Amino acid sequence: MTRLAPPLLALAALLSALPAGAAEPLPRGEPVWLGPPAPARPVRVVSLAPSLTDTVIALGEAGRLVGVTRYDTSLEVKSLPRVGGFLDPSPEAVLGLRPDLVLWLADGGAYPAVRRIAELGVPVLALPVVGVPDVLRAARRVGAALGNSEAGERLAAELEAAVRAAEERAASLPHRRVMLVIGRDPLVVAGPGSYPDALLRIAGGVNVVKGDRPWPIYSLERAVADDPDLVVDAAVNEPADTISRLSAIPAVRSGRVVRLPDDRVLRPGPQLPAALRQLQSALGTPAGGKP
């Protein structure tokens, strides 16, 4: 695994290593509030996930952000303090910024730290964001939490329109069997129930990965047996030439690989339209693998 793995790759490795029942209980289903009530219009906001940072920025509220994760790269937050990562936010760093709202993507091993932040008196909005409907709901809920419901409704409507447009475009694309790779050492792929799996289906592709894990660590033998028509390479933190590690897969050996330019397909938020365009561009790639 790369030295600085993207948060979903780190999460995949963590969840794959945990025995059943080992994870701490997390908020499920609907968004929930932890800690004390939030002000009607918070002015100091900490985001604990890049996708939620994206949402605040897309709502036109970037000026309220006072802290983000080490994985955030948007220009709007480049000078802000970092409060840790997706899996290891620092309660001390968060509290030191005196936020009146913390936004948390309710997943992974961060629950003990986030619960501690809430217990120490900071309102936390916990947003389970797994599929596309969750992205739309998060836009509305974050907008409402910031006291700007109108912007939240507007963003959700824009994202809904992008999904409908992608579904219409999908009718004219080949329904290719795809393996979406997010890490190569170990090999980690997007499985059923993951956000990229949902995007792939909207885009018109077919995910060859089966099973019950959204981020499985895969054996090369299994990848060869799945024999995808196309490999979509989303391991953006790894050198492009290391795809040769997967050359046993026929699609890789014959050059049927499309490397994505960034991690948008892994960020469940306002990057949704661009992620769908990237996937549909990949699906429209000729059989030789060159766009």
The rounded Cα 223 to chain-centroid distance in angstroms is 23
The candidate with the shortest Cα–Cα distance to 103, out of 151, 159, 57, 172, is 57
Kindly report, residue by residue over 71-107, the tens digit of the pLDDT. Answer: 999 999 999 999 999 889 999 999 999 999 999 998 7
Kindly report, residue by residue over 197-220, the tens digit of the pLDDT. Answer: 999 999 999 999 999 899 999 999
Among candidate residues 115, 145, 166, the one where a domain is terminated: 166
**CA–CA separation, 127 and 145 (whole Å):** 11
Question: Which tokens go with 40?
Answer: 């009607």
**Is the domain of 31 the same as that of 157?**
yes
**CA–CA separation, 82 and 46 (whole Å):** 9
262: domain CATH number is 3.40.50.1980
**Is the domain of 89 the same as that of 201?**
no
**Is the domain of 73 the same as that of 110?**
yes
Among candidate residues 100, 133, 166, the one where a domain is terminated: 166
Domain count, the chain: 2
In a domain, 141, yes or no: yes
Task: pLDDT band for 240, please (50, 70, 90 cuts).
Answer: confident
Domain that holds residue 54: 11-166
Provide the whole-model pTM. Answer: 0.86
Task: pLDDT band for 55, please (50, 70, 90 cuts).
Answer: very high
CA atoms within 13 A on the CB side of 229: 14
DSSP summary character for residue 18? S
Three-state SS string over 107-176 comes to CHHHHHHHHHHHHCCCCEEEECCCCHHHHHHHHHHHHHHCCCHHHHHHHHHHHHHHHHHHHHHHCCCCCC
Residue 10 confidence (pLDDT) above 70: no
Distance (Å) of CA 193 to CA 37, 152, 226: 32, 25, 18
Residue 6 confidence (pLDDT) above 70: no
